[in-house]
Amino acid sequence: MSTKKDDSRGNGAAAHRDGSGPAGVGDVSRRRLLGSAGAAGAAGLVLGAAGGAGVYAATRSEVPTPLTAVGSTEAMFHGKHQAGITTPLQARGHLIAFDLAPGAGRKEAAALMRRWSDVAGRLMAGEPADTVQGHDTGVALDAGPSSLTVTFGFGRTFFTRTGLTGHRPPALDPLPVFSSDHLDARRSDGDLWVQIGADDALVAFHALRALQKEAGSAARVRWQMNGFNRTPGATGRPMTTRNLMGQVDGTNNPKPGESDFEKRIFVPAGGSSAHAWMAGGSYAVVRRIRMLLDDWEELTVKRQEQVIGRRKADGAPLSGGSEDTSMDLDKAGPDGKLLIPGNAHARISSPEENGGAAMLRRPFSYHDGISEDGTPDAGLLFICWQADPFKGFIPVQRKLDRGDALSPFIRHEASGLFAVPGGAASGEYVGQRLLEA
């Protein structure tokens, strides 16, 4: 095992878990592989990455073993963009919305964001979460950073509560009502939004608990959702994840190496002074989408593929080729019918059918047990990122709402839209350019 180190903390450089990622994306993970270190050197490195694992081993008179690749991977807190947007999908996730407490305003919000940023920065580096509200719980004591990311956003109501309505961007206007919506207001929206992701369940929970405690009396949890993805290394080769319908999900995502990726996903600098705080940021649309799995699983694989427009085995379009082959939307079979049906989900949601509208989908699956009717309460915590939801999510969802073959098998049950500011520079906290404007 070789050691590959990226000393680009805070400068926006990017590296995938294998160290081969493209430059210019500010939040993608770096890997600290420790296998080549000697026993004494490894002990010191493990202590630094795991926040105490080396001490625990020493009390048992054991030689500590190096962290695995999963445990040692660290995402950068400081940078041009917040982590958790272009970071590779993590195995575990928590989404939490908070409302500011009655009487709390701009001053309390700024103090909270400062505390949260401090805690998130230390946790993402694999350090203990000793906070103003109490000592570290020790839940993640033996683990490294495990690709932990913590991402913060502001809902529309946050600006009213803090007296900052003049700085609220038009892109935070309420989402339209869609015919497929069955939204629960108690699990929608919120003043503040936090996304936590990690490749270890205990590391993710540790961050969740620390941030909840650190909210103190300033904010109260409005809703929380827990999700998961396939664990890195569980497949023989890196591949696009699957959702709970068994479909490859995320094939046609914008890629960081594409020339227009930044302008599609991140807010550019140079806008109005009132909204300059969003430079380098992005807008997150969050939807809890329940999958009607019992109905879906009654379909044959062939019918499922026609609903989606892609092969279930490998995600390739029904028009032929491999997963990365562009869809041929005009190609017909021997019977003269389109190989990708006119109402197939992949067709209707494609940029080609939506004037180039695109968004970066970065979801988690969820399973919250069995409903009263005996069906699984399971589906997708859909999260998509774009520079402007009125040019990304909204036009695509409007098109899907008019006749998507997948619609009978899903139900949108919760929704939120959040402005996620750019990353914090060293010495800053997230949102400082807004809250101290």
Which tens digits make up the pLDDT trace of 289-340?
A: 999 999 999 999 999 999 999 999 999 999 999 999 999 999 999 999 999 9
Q: What is the mean pLDDT of residues 407-420?
A: 97
In this prediction, residue 65 has a pLDDT band, given cuts at 50, 70 and 90, of: low
Query: What pLDDT is stored for residue 329 in this prediction?
Result: 96
Q: Which residue among 199, 200, 249, 388 is the active-site one?
A: 249
Query: What pLDDT is stored for residue 174 in this prediction?
Result: 97
Query: What pLDDT is stored for residue 33 in this prediction?
Result: 35
Q: Classify residue 26 as exposed, middle or buried by CB count within 10 Å of its CB (0-12, 13-18, 19+).
A: buried
Catalytic residue status for 377: no
Name residues whose C-beta falls within 8 Å of residue 326's C-beta, 6 or more positions apart in sequence: 317
Query: What pLDDT is stored for residue 38 in this prediction?
Result: 36
In this prediction, residue 30 has a pLDDT band, given cuts at 50, 70 and 90, of: very low
Which whole-number Å values give the CA distances from 137 to 131, 142, 209, 210, 282, in the listed order?
A: 10, 12, 9, 8, 32
Query: What pLDDT is stored for residue 45 in this prediction?
Result: 32
Domain ranges of the chain: 290-417
Weakest mean pLDDT among 62-66, 76-80, 208-212, 216-220: 62-66
In this prediction, residue 55 has a pLDDT band, given cuts at 50, 70 and 90, of: very low
Give tens-digit pLDDT for 336-384.
999 999 999 999 999 999 999 989 999 999 999 999 999 999 999 999 9
pLDDT at 54 over 90: no
Three-class SS string for the chain?
CCCCCCCCCCCCCCCCCCCCCCCCCCCCCEECCCCCCCHHHHHHHHHHHHCCHHHHHHHCCCCCCCCCHHHHEECCCCCCCCCCCCCCCCCEEEEEEEEECCCCCHHHHHHHHHHHHHHHHHHHCCCCCCECCECCCCCCCCCCCCCCEEEEEECHHHHHHCCCHHHCCHHHCCCCCCCCECCCHHHCCCCEEEEEEECCHHHHHHHHHHHHHHCCCCEEEEEEEEEECCCCCCCCCCCCCECCCCCECCCCCCCCCCCCHHHHHCCCCCCCHHHHHHCCCEEEEEEEEEECHHHHCCCCHHHHHHHHCECCCCCCECCCCCCCCCCCCCCECCCCCECCCCCCHHHHCCHHHCCCCCCEECCEEEEEEECCCCCEEEEEEEEEEECCCCCCHHHHHHHHHCCCCCHHHEEEEEEEEEEECCCCCCCCCCCHHHHCC
pLDDT averaged over the chain? 87
Residue type at 415 in one-letter notation: S
In this prediction, residue 62 has a pLDDT band, given cuts at 50, 70 and 90, of: low
In this prediction, residue 87 has a pLDDT band, given cuts at 50, 70 and 90, of: very high
pLDDT at 201 over 60: yes
pLDDT at 397 over 50: yes
Give tens-digit pLDDT for 226-267.
999 999 989 888 889 999 999 999 998 999 999 999 999 999
Q: What is the mean pLDDT of residues 177-200?
A: 97
With a pLDDT cut of 70, the percent of the chain lying above it is 84
Query: What pLDDT is stored for residue 437 in this prediction?
Result: 86
